[in-house]
Amino acid sequence: MKLYYQTATATLIQFVLMSLCSVANNIVSVTQACTKNNGSCLSDGIASLGFFLLTAVWFALVWAVGFVAQEKRTKFFAFLLICFELMVLAIAYFNLKHRGNALQTLTSALDVALAIWVIIMAFRLSKAGGGRIVKSDRARRRSIEKHLKS
Return averaged pLDDT per consecutive 10 residues of the chain, 150 residues in all: 74 93 89 76 85 93 93 90 95 86 89 93 83 58 68
Q: How many CB atoms within 10 Å of residue 30?
A: 19
Residue 1: per-residue pLDDT: 47
Angstrom distance (rounded) from CA 49 to CA 36 = 19
Nearest to 114 by CA among 11, 4, 20: 11
Residue 116: per-residue pLDDT: 94
Residue 63: per-residue pLDDT: 94
The angle formed by the CA atoms of residues 91, 97 and 116, to the nearest 5 degrees, is 50
Helices (H), ranges, the chain? 7-35, 41-72, 75-97, 102-128, 137-149
Is the pTM higher than 0.95? no
